[in-house]
Amino acid sequence: MKSHSNWIIEELSGVSLGDKRLDDRLFQISESFYNSPELSIQSSCNGWAETKAAYRFFDNEKVTADKILSPHMESTLQRVSKEKIVLMVQDTTLIDCSHRESAIDGIGHLFRDSDQGFLLHPTIAVTPDKRCLGVVHNHCWVRKELGVRHDFSKKTASEKETQRWLESYRYSNEIAKNNPGTSVINIADREADVYEFFMETLGNLEADNNAGWIIRSAYNRKLMNSEKPEHLLWNKLRAGEIVQQIEFDLPNYKKHDRKTNKVTQEIRAARVTLKPCKGIKMRSLKPVDVTAVLCTEKNTPEGAKPIEWLLLTSIELNQETTPEIIVQYYLCRWQIELYFKTLKSGCKIECLQLDSYKKLNACIALYMIIAWRIMFITMVARDAKNVPCTLLLGDEEWKTAFILANRKPPPEQIPTLYEMTRIIGKLGGFLGRKSDGESGIKAIWTGMNKVRQALTITNNKMDYDYEII
């Protein structure tokens, strides 16, 4: 049976911080943070001595974000190797520390001189059924100076922050080369719509590109051998025939002013050749062939903005990989937004009281592992209707959760992971009605916090009176 201590030891087994004592401290801090991800460092730790040890740990020169994430990334790659299809989802989020009264050493700007923060750009591995396997790549940087927009067109992607999108693909490509039995697809949003990205993956005929990609288009690009407006990328797709129709549910945080989260889209698709951009820096660019998939919402609710995407992909369509499949893969991109929400709202990383970028970055790296674990449990449990809950929960945990929810002794037969996840979700505010779907990540971590608090009160003993709890 697995406990939290066991999963932490397994996940971070390859850690090497240069000192065995630091390695041991990492396991201890990971346990404390995971037990109370929404609390401050001081509140998560068991007493002032452990709190001081945690602050000294992140202050140690040997402790870096890369070293903390490294064993988790290796574990993630092991999970990737066991899958047939893995989506490498990349995106950027701002770590905003502007609310801090005191300055943070080594921090930079966000969009204004008055901002204080830095930027985080992870790539997470996700299966087509939306199970998050973990972080495979991470790029973190500080803006020491704010750029001038008119200078951007004079620079190549390697001279701008845009380089991070290319780096993620290159790493995905390396993963694909090392795992020939796994189909790897890199997925990004509109900011990755950079012609040099297409050249990186399609235009270089000498490159050994094993990984595919899907990008949401941001520009109505020109097509080769056509100068007429109707032959621009978006215009050409809109004039095409509808080939499929797809229905899906918007996440609650994307509903905005919609009365329903149901979305129906009509799909059009075509293979097109993009015309290179002009400019002194762009003379080496060549035409590239891509598959374009246009998704236009049908019967948009009154007062709502229609949901329309144009997806560009290196994948050629066939009987197995239909336009609908491309859209389904792209929908998995929302998992990284859920990951950011878990980091910021669940683990509250922007509230960490650390006085330097180095310390803050290392601490966030640890919370990135914890956020993955929370997401992993939530998604795995939804399909685990025949799997015992002891796959991911210790005896003390599931029994305590059962007692808290039902006010009676736990059953002799071990419940399934699906049943216990719903019970834990209800402790966290999930109502569990037929129309409510499955319990979300916030309900899971809130319910688990109540379970751990009960375990703390009883000193992990199971001889307490369940009527009192």
Tens-of-pLDDT digits for all 469 residues of the chain?
Answer: 334 457 888 999 989 999 999 999 999 999 889 878 888 898 888 889 999 999 999 999 999 999 999 999 999 999 999 999 999 999 999 999 888 878 889 988 888 877 889 999 999 999 999 999 999 999 999 988 776 555 555 666 666 788 999 999 999 999 999 999 999 999 999 999 998 888 877 644 445 678 999 999 999 999 987 667 667 999 999 999 999 999 998 876 665 667 778 899 999 999 999 988 776 455 677 888 999 999 999 988 888 888 999 999 999 999 889 999 999 999 999 999 999 999 998 899 999 989 999 999 999 999 999 999 988 888 777 776 778 888 778 788 889 889 998 888 889 899 888 888 888 888 888 877 766 677 777 788 788 778 877 876 665 444 444 443 3
Exposed e or buried b for every residue in 390-426, given b needs 16+ CB within 10 A?
bebbbebbbbbbbbbbeeeebeeebbbbbbbbbbbbb
CATH of domain 384-457: 1.10.740.10
Instruction: Give the integer Cα–Cα distance in Å for 116 and 355.
Output: 12
Q: 338 near 442, Cβ under 8 Å?
A: no
The residues spanned by each domain of the chain are 4-64+352-376, 215-315, 384-457
Q: Are 162 and 194 in contact (CB under 8 A)?
A: yes
Query: At which residue do the structure tokens 């998604």 appear?
Result: 379
Q: Are 30 and 54 in contact (CB under 8 A)?
A: no
